[in-house]
């Protein structure tokens, strides 16, 4: 079936709030940029007004049917709910899409919001005071928005159970990995230096994400220590790629206390090209986190051909299906068995790589754009 919109469908003029992209990298900015590009490619007749902050060093996305509108109001600003509507008064759009959860409550057009996860309700300690103020508006936001996009069935269930959102107001539209993430040819034992840390392909397992409590790294670290104590020669080596996060001190203390300095390499935050190399070079990818609204690093890893082992928690089973090993999130012995097995079994890794590539191919930005546009149409038909 073609991904192009049929000619009889009326063109849309959509404003998309991309102000966060000027301030952060990561999941929501990436989602916003990739979705804009895919929507613009879906129908040349649609027009997209990308709302960017004036600090943005470059356009979030470019295409003939994309127009930038640069705003003064920063994202998550204390006065955002007053200033943003004023800046949007003369904006001519059919609909507004807010990928960062919270829409302007005073507006002249219907709004669609994307809810990526409700981790901050499950783990309120992950938020600082500014984040608490911003995400504390989520209850009002989900009942004020004209439609809600959830990126997984898990997030949709959280919206229903934690915020009493009627099921008919939620549409699940899975996101996808960027096309950058794909298999690349690496020589045997290819080497690279990532943020000053020398690495060799095939000699490490990989975790990508912010170093913070909900990522469940202590369980993984304790499992690695058991593997080392039982058979150091056949024990996995781990690379952690991600910035330091909220309440990360105990994790670094645990690495020290377990004497894992030679087994765990922390490379910090990495750029897209470095991440591409890491996904392709790792022996397998690990995602132990306790809660995930989608699990984008898992999808990126599978799209690069990495075998995956992940916690049997939240959205990860939904995303992975039978394409990876799923482990009880906090069962150290289960992690020991899975890590040892996958580290030492090349046939299993090869089978999981094959399954992962097939699974990853089901998630595309073309699909996400097509299904998102259907949400826009439904909202406009109701208004």
* Arithmetic mean of pLDDT, 155-174: 98
Looking at per-residue pLDDT, the higher value among 310 and 10 belongs to 310
Max Cα separation, the chain? 67
Q: Provide φ and ψ at 20, rounded to 5°.
A: -60, -25
Q: Look at residues 178, 184, 263, 267 and name the one whose alpha carbon lies nearest to residue 227.
A: 263
The structure tokens 């913070």 sit at 212
Query: For 9-18, 100-109, 275-284, 357-366, which range has the lowest pLDDT when averaged over its residues?
Result: 9-18
Average model confidence (pLDDT) across the chain: 94
The three-state secondary structure class of 344 is: helix
pLDDT digits (tens, 9 = 90+) for 118-147: 999 998 887 888 889 999 999 999 999 999
Handedness of CA 136, 142, 145, 148 (dihedral sign): positive
96, β-bridge pairs: 15, 111
Q: What percent of the chain has pLDDT over 70?
A: 98
Q: Is 202 left (phi over 0), alpha (psi -120 to 50) or beta?
A: left
Given the DSSP bridges, would you call strands 47-53 and 66-71 parallel, antiparallel or unpaired? parallel
Cβ(147)–Cβ(171) below 8 Å: yes
Describe the chain by its helix, strand, coil percentages, rounded to 5. Answer: 40, 15, 40
Write the DSSP symbol of residue 362.
Answer: T
- Dist CA 190 CA 281 (whole Å): 8
The per-residue pLDDT for 192 is 97
For the record, the structure tokens of 315 come out as 């959205």
Higher pLDDT pick, 53 / 244: 53
The pLDDT tens digits of the residues spanning 269-297 come to 999 999 999 999 999 999 999 999 999 99
What angle do helix axes 296-303 and 272-281 make, rounded to 10 degrees?
60
* Domains located in the chain, CATH noted: 13-176+364-382 (3.40.50.2000), 191-360 (3.40.50.2000)
pLDDT at 25: 78
Residue 306, pLDDT above cutoff 90: yes
pTM for the whole thing?
0.93
Is the pLDDT at 17 greater than 90, yes or no?
yes
| Entry field: residues in the chain | 383
Confidence of residue 32 (pLDDT cuts 50, 70, 90): very high
Q: Is the dihedral of CA 296, 40, 54, 93 positive or negative?
A: negative
pLDDT more than 90, % of the chain: 87
The set of residues, in sequence order, having a beta carbon less than 8 Å from that of 354 and lying 6+ positions away, is: none
């Amino acid at each position: 079936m073609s991904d192009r919109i049929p000619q009889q469908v009326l063109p849309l003029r959509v404003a998309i709030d991309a102000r966060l992209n000027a301030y952060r990298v990561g999941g929501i900015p990436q989602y916003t940029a990739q979705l804009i590009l895919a929507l613009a490619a879906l129908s040349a007749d649609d027009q997209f007004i990308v709302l960017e902050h004036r600090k943005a060093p470059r356009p979030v996305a470019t295409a003939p049917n994309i127009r930038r509108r640069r705003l003064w109001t920063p994202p998550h600003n204390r006065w955002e709910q007053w200033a943003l509507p004023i800046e949007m008064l003369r904006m001519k759009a059919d609909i507004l899409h807010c990928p960062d959860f919270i829409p302007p409550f005073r507006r002249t057009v219907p709004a669609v919001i994307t809810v990526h996860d409700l981790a901050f309700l499950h783990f309120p300690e992950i938020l600082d005071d500014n984040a608490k103020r911003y995400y504390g508006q989520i209850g009002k936001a989900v009942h004020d928005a004209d439609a809600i996009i959830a990126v997984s069935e898990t997030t949709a269930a959280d919206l229903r159970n934690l915020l009493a959102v009627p099921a008919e107001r939620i549409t699940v539209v899975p996101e996808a990995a960027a096309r950058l993430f794909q298999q690349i040819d690496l020589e045997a034992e290819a080497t690279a230096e990532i943020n000053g840390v020398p690495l060799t392909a095939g000699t490490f397992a990989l975790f990508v994400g912010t170093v913070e409590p909900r990522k469940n790294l202590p369980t993984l670290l304790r499992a690695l220590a058991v593997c080392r104590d039982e058979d150091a020669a056949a024990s996995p080596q781990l690379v952690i790629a991600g910035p330091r996060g909220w309440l990360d001190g105990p994790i670094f203390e645990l690495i020290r206390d377990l004497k894992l300095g030679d087994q765990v390499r922390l490379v910090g935050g990495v750029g897209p090209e470095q991440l591409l190399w890491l996904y392709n070079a790792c022996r397998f990818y690990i995602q132990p986190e306790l809660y995930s609204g989608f699990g984008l690093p898992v999808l990126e890893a599978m799209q690069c051909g990495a075998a995956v082992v992940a916690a049997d928690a939240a959205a990860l089973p939904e995303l992975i299906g039978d394409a990876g090993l799923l482990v009880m999130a906090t069962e150290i012995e289960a992690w020991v068995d899975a890590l040892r097995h996958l580290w030492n079994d090349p046939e299993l890794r090869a089978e999981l790589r094959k399954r992962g590539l097939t699974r990853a191919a089901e998630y595309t930005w073309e699909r996400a754009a097509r299904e998102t546009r259907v949400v826009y149409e439904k909202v406009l038909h109701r208004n």
